[in-house]
């Protein structure tokens, strides 16, 4: 197994996953930045833990989408929740307005349309799902604000500085 950090092997050669790609000139600059991000993961156990957490987040998100299917009386399989989630992730990866307004809704309509859900119902689903998702982010953000040694006035001052 290749180490993920920059630790050289016994023969002095760097065989990390990072080193395999960092010197390849054929990759675009953005790909190099992506690979540079892996330089901080030097422990395989930590990588496995991060992969586990990522999978858990995906599963929880798919479960939320599926429970919304039930709330909207959509008779769709659990696989549809994963498909909608993947399409939604691809949709919001495209440059968009703040809060993913537009892209989120179009991606939901597109994903649900693959399973025969009409546009008006899919749009309603997208609005409710988007609202609930943003509500969770806001509630968690405000809840954890005191733990980060920030205050609302600090953030407001920082935003005003950036605007000027």
Q: How many CA atoms lie within 13 A of 110 on its CB side?
A: 15
CA–CA distance, 117 with 101 (Å, rounded to integer): 21
Q: Is residue 164 part of a domain?
A: no
Largest CA distance in the chain: 63
pLDDT band at 26 (very low <50, low <70, confident <90, very high): low
Per-residue pLDDT at 27:
57
One domain for residues 123 and 73: yes
Q: pLDDT digits over 102-146, tens only? A: 888 999 999 999 999 999 999 999 999 999 999 999 999 888 877
Per-residue pLDDT at 2:
41
> The whole model's pTM is what?
0.66
One domain for residues 32 and 96: no
Domain that residue 87 falls in: 55-159
Instruction: Count the Cβ atoms, other than its own, within 10 Å of residue 71.
Output: 10
Q: How many separate domains does the chain show?
A: 2
One domain for residues 20 and 62: no
Q: Is residue 32 part of a domain?
A: yes
One domain for residues 25 and 60: no
Per-residue pLDDT at 46:
84
One domain for residues 20 and 59: no
Q: Is residue 139 part of a domain?
A: yes
Q: Is residue 146 part of a domain?
A: yes
Dihedral sign from CA coordinates of 40, 62, 115, 95:
negative
One domain for residues 3 and 74: no
Please state, rounded to an integer, the average pLDDT across all residues of the chain. Answer: 81
One domain for residues 66 and 141: yes
One domain for residues 61 and 134: yes
One domain for residues 61 and 36: no
Q: Is residue 50 part of a domain?
A: no
Q: What percent of the chain has pLDDT over 70?
A: 76
Task: Mark residue 17 as left, alpha or beta (left: phi above 0; alpha: psi -120 to 50; beta: remaining).
Answer: alpha
One domain for residues 29 and 80: no
Q: pLDDT digits over 60-89, tens only? A: 999 999 999 999 999 999 999 999 999 999
Does residue 14 carry a pLDDT above 90? no
């Amino acid at each position: 197994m290749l180490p993920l950090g920059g630790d050289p092997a016994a023969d002095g050669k760097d065989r990390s996953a990072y080193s395999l790609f960092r010197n390849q000139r054929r990759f675009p600059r953005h790909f190099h930045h992506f690979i540079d991000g892996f330089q901080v993961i030097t422990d395989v156990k930590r990588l496995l833990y991060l992969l586990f957490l990522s999978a858990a987040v995906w599963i929880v998100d798919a479960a939320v989408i599926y429970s919304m299917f039930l709330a909207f009386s959509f008779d769709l399989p659990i696989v549809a929740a994963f498909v909608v989630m993947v399409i939604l992730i691809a949709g919001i990866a495209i440059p968009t307005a703040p809060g993913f307004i537009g892209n989120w809704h179009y991606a939901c309509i597109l994903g649900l349309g693959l399973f025969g859900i009409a546009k008006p119902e899919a749009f309603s689903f997208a609005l409710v799902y988007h609202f609930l998702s943003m509500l969770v982010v806001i509630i968690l953000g405000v809840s954890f604000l005191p733990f980060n040694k920030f205050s609302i006035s600090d953030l407001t001052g920082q935003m005003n500085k950036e605007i000027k």
